[in-house]
Structure 1
Amino acid sequence: MKTVSTIAVTLLFTILFSCTKKDNPPKVDPDPLPPVAFTIPQTRDIVMYEINLRAYSNSGDIHGVTMGLDKIKSLGVNVIWLMPIYPIGELHSVNSPYSVKNYTEVNPEFGTLRDLQTLVSEAHSKGISVILDWVANHTAWDNSWIDHPDWYTRDANGNIMIPPGTNWQDVADLNYDNQEMRLKMIEAMKFWVDTADIDGFRCDAADMVPYDFWQQANEALVGFTTKDLIMLAEGNRNDHFSAGFDLNFSWDFYNQIKKVFNGTATPASLYTVNTSETNNVPVGKEKLRFTTNHDESAWDATPMVLFHGKSGALAASAIAIFMGGVPLIYDGQEVGVEEKIPFFTNSPINWTLNPDMQDIYVKMLQFYSSSEIVKMGAMTTYDNASVVTFLHRLKIDEVLVIVNTKNAPISYSIPNDLLNTNWTDALTDDAVTLGNQLELQPFEYRILKSN
């Protein structure tokens, strides 16, 4: 009887163990998809589009972005930046995608690793690069790394801290004096290049992470892949470029263009900021120019509010796109969303808004993409109290941009060296002759190319 009982218990244990293994198979990442023949654009040729997954589509996921690739490509975009796709921490959570629970998984809210691989493959087939938002400064409190307290910044009592100088209660600050943590961070970055064929990273809060780590990470990535990865620093430290970044943010330009359109600064001040920002940028590197991004549209206001409506938003974009640097468009900007766009919650964009505005963005960005004059030409600026005017010249070819920054009609006196010159409107193909005066409507802009 005892032997029978032992056999029965053993059999029951075997059945239960087998069921457990079947019901909970080990996690296996899908194999990478076959690579698509594709060339990452040179830094100066980038037109970047930022995607908030929770806003871009009704489904709020990676598949929704894949379905929108043709529309994105029609803008002249050749790089998309995905906001963080990783599982979000649940401890002290505000549901921010910048609170990363696991650096090497896709948040089920957004889909699967295969969905990401498919997006990247489809994007590459359309000539579009994909870069991921990388959060290196901090993790969620329930990230498994928290089991290594020495990987984090701690106070005098040994307690792990939030990032100093912030009120970011949902995240724990990483300690870059710890070499083991550094290597784990770099290993996670390599994972996405290897597994999803990612084309680079936009590095969040880059000013808060030490220079020598960024240098170490960039050197490691260069040695890891033959791809010329796109590395974008969210910051404006000059040492980002020597650390290996290709681009960083034009925060000073963004703040100054707001002042110009609000009437608290002159066009000449914008020229000064443009020069000061670009003077120290090495050859082959660029500043990222924008009139909004996810932070500004969530916490500040959208361009429709900041720049006083559709005409003002387009006028500001004409300056940001054509004055210099690499242009960034944030999803919803091109259709003139007025309400703030959150990224802690889902808020799908109404893509039926302002189709005329979207058409203009398409024309602006397509002309920008095709114009070596704008990207490579020497720039001349012209002073006026209300009108931003600058000219790009490459050999004998020129592009002239004139923007009324006021919400009022302006009779603009044409600068002497532009008197009686003939042009073609780059957006309409209309012939334009500049006489002594140019009557500009509120926030009117003209983008002209030489005949």
Structure 2
Amino acid sequence: MKIVSLLLLVGITTAECKKSGSDSPIVSPPVVVTPGDDYKDPVAYGTPFSKVPNTTDAVIYEVNLRSFSAQANLKGLQGRLDNLKSLGINVIWLMPIYPVGQLKSAGGLGSPYAVKDYNAVNPEFGTLDDLRLVVEEAHKRDMSVILDWVANHTSWDNAWIANKSWYKQDANGNIIIPPGTNWADVAALNYDNADLRKAMIRAMKFWVLTANVDGYRFDAADFVPTDFWKQALDTLKKFDTRKLILLGEGSKKEQLTAGFQLNYAFDYYNALKSIFADTQAPSALFTTNTNENNMLINGTYKLRYITNHDVTSSDGSAISIYKGKQGALAAFVLVATMDGVPLLYNGQEVGCPNKIDFFNRDAIDWTTNPEMLEEYKKIIAFRKSSAALKIGALTVFNHPDVMAYEKKSGTDDVVVLVNARNTTVNYSLPTALQNTVWENGLTGDVVNLTTSVTLQAYGYLMLKK
């Protein structure tokens, strides 16, 4: 077995790369030193964080370091931690912080998902000490930090490529890109190889111990065999003094059985986008919600979002997808209150209009739309205060234009009304809600319901008993 942290890589240039008939770049193999297998876990740095939130309490925020601050690095993130705290965030997800491969077929600075070295910090973003300081300062503010982990593939100049059997190959023995993709800047890993599995798990353990991070968001989880996820997650859970967040970018039920606490609500996002595009009825969201919940096992949840780094790259900004600032807020009310765990992507909270390209430094103007930022804070605070919103039983009130539902947990009782149309709607209340008295969950005002409620275009009302 090769000790991955000691492999020495001789870099290549993009001029040394070309496409083969298998769409795989042919590169000069890295030079490696292969010591004996005397691996030991690194010495743990810091004290395990004792306030990692329960899954139902999590509000997750995805940070793209290239866009999040003017410095575009970890020091820039550190300088904005108080902003995340005031927003109501308690879990920070960092997009990959590792060195990027030199084959940048997608252009710009290269994809952070083309990992050149699993055990190093990309100098573009800073140093290991910078990462440690971010984690320490986040912990002081009662926020967890999770790293993005890319298990499906590596860059073509990752030192692991010297171990050809660790990679998928075509009939001619050429290492290939991930099947079914056009990701020419990465090489597909082969999980039939036991040594690869061991090296990957050791690399995962490295950051938990070396930087005191609180878990991972696992990229492209559907592409990696479920039995590997069980092997890896079982190993991570042996850190019995640590509470780790384990989020998979996948949709399979067996991933939850294998140990993920969360995986993706892909269908929910697609239904939400279609409703705001007027190509599906609002009822489609409840159908999708039920179908996704039926895939869960006890203690697991779906990650719900209106945007993320992939969405903004493919579909545009949230205010573009949801027909403006008010539409984006209405959509977020749904993902924050219906079921599941909410995610925000950097810039969403100020209505960033840009289609952020994570291959480049697309800076966010944090001074835009301060009223949106304040509204996001109120929505998140209401969610965090309400057991009903986090875990309550859902009752749906079907309507052709309004997504209306009640959630109850014990004595906690909440009603949410969201106008899915870009026009004013007069919503006739169901009998159960008529002539009742509530409190506005965002303002604290008393609300006396009669027989109907007028909701402005993409308007919403969040009520509590």
Name the TM-score, length of structure 1 as normaliser. Answer: 0.92
SS of aligned partner of 1:201: strand
1:77 and 1:128 in contact (8 A); partners too? yes
Equivalent residue number for residue 163 of structure 2: 148
Could you tell me which of 29, 53, 58 is aligned with 1:46?
58
Equivalent residue number for residue 242 of structure 2: 227
1:88 and 1:107 in contact (8 A); partners too? yes
Equivalent residue number for residue 357 of structure 1: 372
Structure with the bigger percentage of helix: 1
Could you tell me which of 316, 323, 327 is aligned with 2:342?
327
Equivalent residue number for residue 438 of structure 1: 453
Equivalent residue number for residue 131 of structure 2: 116
SS of aligned partner of 1:223: coil
1:107 CA displacement: 0.1
1:190 and 1:224 in contact (8 A); partners too? no
1:35 and 1:121 in contact (8 A); partners too? no
Could you tell me which of 108, 122, 145 is aligned with 1:107?
122
- Whether 1:246 and 2:258 are equivalent positions in the alignment is no
* Equivalent-residue separation in structure 2 for 1:307 and 1:385 (angstroms): 18
Between 1:194-203 and 1:256-265, the stretch displaced more is 256-265
In the TM superposition, 1:251-262 aligns within 5 A as: 251-262=266-277
* Equivalent-residue separation in structure 1 for 2:229 and 2:48 (angstroms): 29
Structure 1 stretches of 4+ with a deviation exceeding 3 A read 30-34
> What do residues 77-126 of structure 1 show as CA deviations (whole Å, max 9, x unaligned)?
11000000000000354300000000000000000000000010111111
Letter in 1 for 2:57: D
> What do residues 328-349 of structure 1 show as CA deviations (whole Å, max 9, x unaligned)?
0101000001120110000110
Equivalent residue number for residue 398 of structure 1: 413
* Equivalent-residue separation in structure 1 for 2:193 and 2:411 (angstroms): 55
> What do residues 140-179 of structure 1 show as CA deviations (whole Å, max 9, x unaligned)?
0000001011000000100000000000000000000000
Could you tell me which of 243, 263, 281 is aligned with 1:266?
281
* Equivalent-residue separation in structure 2 for 1:197 and 1:247 (angstroms): 21
* Equivalent-residue separation in structure 2 for 1:224 and 1:160 (angstroms): 35
1:236 and 1:248 in contact (8 A); partners too? yes
Equivalent residue number for residue 149 of structure 2: 134
SS of aligned partner of 2:238: helix
SS of aligned partner of 1:59: coil
1:37 and 1:125 in contact (8 A); partners too? no
* Equivalent-residue separation in structure 2 for 1:416 and 1:58 (angstroms): 53
Letter in 1 for 2:335: A
Letter in 2 for 1:293: N
Q: Which has the larger radius of gyration?
A: 1
Q: Compute the RMSD of aligned alpha carbons.
A: 1.3
Letter in 2 for 1:72: L
**Any gaps of 5 or more consecutive residues in structure 1?**
1-29
2:99 and 2:121 in contact (8 A); partners too? yes
In the TM superposition, 1:208-219 aligns within 5 A as: 208-219=223-234
**Any gaps of 5 or more consecutive residues in structure 2?**
1-41
* Equivalent-residue separation in structure 1 for 2:200 and 2:240 (angstroms): 16
* Equivalent-residue separation in structure 2 for 1:244 and 1:151 (angstroms): 24
* Equivalent-residue separation in structure 2 for 1:134 and 1:204 (angstroms): 6
Change (3 A) 1:101 1:267: same
Could you tell me which of 275, 293, 312 is aligned with 2:290?
275
Equivalent residue number for residue 287 of structure 1: 302
> What do residues 58-78 of structure 1 show as CA deviations (whole Å, max 9, x unaligned)?
000011111111110111111
Equivalent residue number for residue 91 of structure 2: 79
1:227 CA displacement: 0.9
